[in-house]
Amino acid sequence: MCIDKAGYAILSFADDRHLSVAHALRQLDNGDTHGGGVNGSYVSPILGKGFQGYFVGVLLSSSEEDGPRVMLVDHPGSKMKATIFSIDTGEVCSATPWVDIPACPDHHELQAMAVELNGSVYYLVENWRYIASIDTATMGIAVIELPQCVSPQSGSLDVGETKDGATCLVYTDGLDVGVLMHTRDDAADGIQKLVLDRVVSMDAELQRVLPAGQFDVLQVFAVRDGYVYLLASSATLQDPPGDRYWVLSLCLATMKLEKLFQGTYGCAAIPYIMPWPRSLFVN
């Protein structure tokens, strides 16, 4: 599931191979002709039914002119296509042609991901060897090969942005955290690359914020506004407490860890920045 800043959530239906978008706080209008969710909450029409291959959706930044939109990426084998749909009507707003993606037969069991940053959607191919950058205005696609330091054996990765808005990719390799910056060479026809910026060991930081020796696996699950959200778990401890993990935040500016909360496997955590609750405002 993916949640955007406006509160929309993508619902994926693997059996029927389609997506819908829900909003728990948006109520159905009188003019809505499609089905609603629980207690009349908003659920969009079916979007993109009949995908050919692996499919993933990402919610796009909305404006009054465009309204809420979602991009769906269809990736069967060695080609891909991106389509933008209106969440309100289910109609296609724009689409790319089919684009070839270099095939890699290994590691197709890995999960793909997509995220919107700075007017582009970054789609990580399941083999973790390439990222497709899709311009949401022009629908142009650039395929970027990942450096060899990033591999399926690395552990985990995600694309996000630094505090000043620069696009970056953060990955883990054991207890090391690596940061790659997205660059564009305008002198060479705008060729895009991911360049290694730093690799920092989190061993000392983990010992500072968590019980020593109990957590020896780090996984990235989100990068937002200059912070990396990590899961710290144990590869050696058995249940219990081997089924427990800590959610940590890592500041990209200082590379310092902060402990957020402890969870158990089977529960998903999704970073979501929401407005300050009105009930907590002081008159």
Residue 269 lies in a domain: yes
Residue 34 lies in a domain: no
Average pLDDT, stretch 188-197? Answer: 80
CATH number of the domain within which 62 lies: 2.115.10
Q: What is the Cα–Cα distance from 2 to 121, expressed in whole angstroms?
A: 14
In terms of C-beta density within 10 A (0-12 exposed, 13-18 middle, 19 or more buried), how is residue 180 classed?
buried
Residue 243: pLDDT above 60?
no
Amino acid at 188: A
Read off the pLDDT band of 25 (50, 70, 90): low
For residue range 223-241, what is the model confidence (pLDDT) as tens digits?
988 999 998 887 665 444 4
What pLDDT does residue 234 have? 76
Average pLDDT, stretch 125-134? Answer: 77
Amino acid at 226: G
Domain limits for position 225: 2-15+53-274
What pLDDT does residue 57 have? 75
Residue 113 lies in a domain: yes
Residue 45 lies in a domain: no
Average pLDDT, stretch 249-266? Answer: 85
Residue 3: pLDDT above 90?
no
Q: What is the Cα–Cα distance from 150 to 52, expressed in whole angstroms?
A: 28
Q: Which has the higher per-residue pLDDT, 18 or 171?
A: 171
Residue 156 lies in a domain: yes
Mapping DSSP onto H, E and C, the string for the chain reads CEECCCCCEEEEECCCCEEEEEEEEEECCCCCCCCCCHHHEEECCCECCCCCCEEEEEEECCCCCCCCEEEEEEECCCEEEEEEEECCCCCEEEECCCEECCCCCCCCCCCCEEEEECCEEEEECCCCCEEEEEECCCCCEEEEECCCCCCHHHEEEEEEECCCCCEEEEEEECCEEEEEEEEEEHHHCCEEEEEEEEEEECHHHHHHHCCCCCCCEEEEEEEECCEEEEEEECCCCCCCCCCEEEEEEEECCCCCEEEEEEEECCCCCCCCCCCCCHHHCCC
* 122 contacts 115 by C-beta, under 8 angstroms: yes
What pLDDT does residue 106 have? 52
Cα angle, residue 257 at apex, residues 253 and 263 outer, rounded to 5°: 135
Residue 280 lies in a domain: no
Residue 207 lies in a domain: yes
Residue 282 lies in a domain: no
For residue range 132-189, what is the model confidence (pLDDT) as tens digits?
888 888 888 888 888 888 876 667 888 889 999 899 999 998 889 999 998 877 665 6
Selection from 23-37, 83-97, 124-138, 260-274 with the highest mean pLDDT: 83-97
What pLDDT does residue 93 have? 87
Instruction: Count up the domains in the chain and report the number.
Output: 1
Average pLDDT, stretch 30-35? Answer: 44
**Model-level pTM?**
0.75
Residue 18: pLDDT above 70?
no
Q: What is the Cα–Cα distance from 281 to 283, expressed in whole angstroms?
A: 6
For residue range 83-119, what is the model confidence (pLDDT) as tens digits?
888 887 888 888 888 888 776 555 444 455 678 887 8
- Paired with 122 in beta bridges are 115, 133
Residue 127: pLDDT above 60?
yes
* 249 contacts 257 by C-beta, under 8 angstroms: yes
Tally of residues, the chain:
283
